[in-house]
Every structure is written in C-alpha cells, then in structure tokens.
Amino acid sequence: MADTLQQGQIIHGCMRIAGMPVPEAGDLIGRALDAGINFFDHADIYGQGKSEAVFGDAIRRLGIPRDQLVIQTKCSIRAGFYDCSKEHIIRSVEGSLKRLGTDYVDVLLLHRPDTLMEPEEVAEAFDSLESSGKVKNFGVSNHNPMQIELLSKSCRQKLMFNQLQFSLVHTPIVDSGINVNLYNDDAMVRAGSILEYSRIHGITIQAWSPLQHGFIEGVFLDNPNFAALNHNLATMARKKGLTPATLAIALDFEASGQDAAYCRYDQSPKARGIKPGQGGLPFEARMVRTLFSSRKRITLIQTRQSPGLSWVL
C-alpha cells in the first residue's frame, strides 16, 4: 500500500524532459536525487511518450537501482477525449512500462475523469494490473469527490492520491471553504469540497505546478502581473533566509491543511532550490493560517494582483 512508499513530499514532474538530451535529463534526475527527491511523475501523453522514454534511458545510464525510485504515471487522456476503459488503461500501462524500462510503476493515476466511464471496467483493469505486479498503488488526478466515490464503489484498491492544480495564485480548492455563505465569486464550489473530502478519507493531494499561474501560462515568480505578491514573497523570504520559491512551496504545504505532495514541472532557475523538509515552517504556518481564516482573506483573494495586496502576519 502507499503508506509503505519511501517518498518525500516533493515530486519531480517529468512532463518537459521530452526534448532533453538523455545526458541532460540524467543530470537533472541526479540533482533531484541528491536533494532527496526520489518521486518522479509521468504520464503516457507527456511528449507523446517521449518523456517516459528519455527518463528510462537516463535511469539506465545512471545505473540507479529501481527500488531507490518512486515512479508514477498517468493515463486516460487520448486525442480529443478521455478513456477509462479496461482495454485502454492496461494498454497504456504496458506502453509506459516499456518506455520507462521497468517491470512496474509504484503509482498509477487516472489523469482526467471520463464522465462515461464504467467503474466496473476500471476495477477490472486495476485488479489485473495489481495481480500481475505491474502497478503497486492507485489514485486519480483532477477528480472531484463524487467521481472518486463512483470509482470506489467498484474498486477494491484504495485511491491514495488525487493530483490537483494548486498554488498561491490558483486556490479554488480552498476558496469556497473560506467564503461559505457569501455572495461573491470565491464562494462558488468549483471542486466539490475536494480538500475536506481528501482529509476525511486520507487521500494525499498532489498539487501540480505549484509555482504556476493559469493553466500553462508560466510561473508567477518574478512575473510583473503579480508584482505585489512577488514583492511580499521576496521580503519575507529574505527575513527567513529562503528563496521566494521555497517560501511559496512552504505556504502551499500549510494552506493545503495536510501533508501534500507537490509536482514541480518548471525546470527554470526560478523554480530550483526547493528541497524536501522545507514545508511546515512555523512562521509561515501562523501567517498562512491567518490568511486563510481571517475575513481579510476575502479581500486578499479578490485583489491578489492589486498593488495594495499585503500578507497578514
């Protein structure tokens, strides 16, 4: 089960390594391992499979023992539609294993919810992959509570993870919980109370692109559209002897209300320097709890890009 995985709280996202030369990808993987990051996130669609192939080649060149890595991949996104059929899930995993050069993956996530999925088919696929030793643990990505309930109705395996977009500037999983019974946009329940549901059911949230704004627009660090946020992050980071990126990640850990795992897809220098164990900083914990429990947070949510933005300490 997932509670036996030897993993840190930081996940290294591999979406963008498809275009890297294998030696460069190997250097990236090596630096991640040196920093204590042993959990690597993939998907069958990343680079149309090229990301997994580059990773597999790099691991072979480095000679890293398989049991020192936690490898996760995802499936269900196809050209123009989502597919959670038994046939596609099994075929996708077998393709990923071949590209990764491994006999098993530690975690398989359903990448996006297939509204027309048959949970019994998913259960059959999971049973087959588990019994054959090809997948050790299972979860979902971008699913809401009722979709998880539908799957859980048929699947014997506990869904251990849910990968969701979350960052300081993308907060729908917490916004509605702060704005209960109010007439404003943030009171809209867009994620089905997935944060509370995950805490109740012991599902670990993996926050993808925790330094990104929008869907694929890029990182918010040093972005002039988030000048006030970056100013305050830089000021507070200096006081703590941290980088702004590290502080942003630490705040995400606290705001999520649980021990979340974070997928870092951006490989730019702005996003580097984040190491396991830097979440849960006491100063930031007090600060973020004030932000997310104070009525002032309502104003902050609505004006997060305003020059008047300030953090409540």
pLDDT in tens, the chain (313 residues): 444 566 677 899 999 999 999 999 999 999 999 998 999 999 999 999 999 999 999 999 999 999 999 999 999 999 889 999 999 999 999 999 999 999 999 999 999 999 889 999 999 999 999 999 999 999 999 999 999 999 999 999 999 999 999 888 888 988 888 899 999 888 999 999 999 999 999 999 988 888 888 877 889 999 999 898 888 889 888 988 989 988 888 776 665 554 444 444 434 333 333 333 333 333 334 444 333 332 233 223 222 232 222 122 1
* 289 found inside a domain: no
pTM of the complete model = 0.82
In this predicted structure, what is the pLDDT of residue 255? Answer: 58
Q: What is the CATH number of the domain that holds 82?
A: 3.20.20.100
Instruction: For residue 68, give every residue at least 6 positions away whose Cβ sits within 8 Å of its Cβ, in sequence order, or none.
Output: 33, 38
The active-site residue out of 46, 82, 104, 262 is: 46
Domain containing 182 equals: 2-224+248-278
Q: How far apart are CA 218 and CA 64, in angstroms?
A: 32
Known catalytic residue at 46: yes
Instruction: For residue 254, give every residue at least 6 positions away whose Cβ sits within 8 Å of its Cβ, in sequence order, or none.
Output: 279, 280, 281, 284, 285, 288, 289
Whether the CB-CB separation of 61 and 22 falls below 8 Å is answered with: yes
* 229 found inside a domain: no
In this predicted structure, what is the pLDDT of residue 27? Answer: 97
Residue 153 CB neighbours (<10 A): 10
* 310 found inside a domain: no
DSSP E strand boundaries for 123-269: 135-141, 159-165, 204-208, 212-213, 218-219, 261-264
* 125 found inside a domain: yes
256 backbone dihedrals φ, ψ, rounded to 5°: -70, -20
* 301 found inside a domain: no
* 242 found inside a domain: no
Q: How far apart are CA 70 and CA 8, in angstroms?
A: 10
Burial letters 213-225, b for 16+ CB under 10 A, else e: beeeeebbbebee
Six-digit token string for 179: 């704005």
* 293 found inside a domain: no
* 234 found inside a domain: no
Whether the CB-CB separation of 278 and 262 falls below 8 Å is answered with: no
Total domain count, the chain: 1
Burial letters 15-25, b for 16+ CB under 10 A, else e: bebbebebeeb
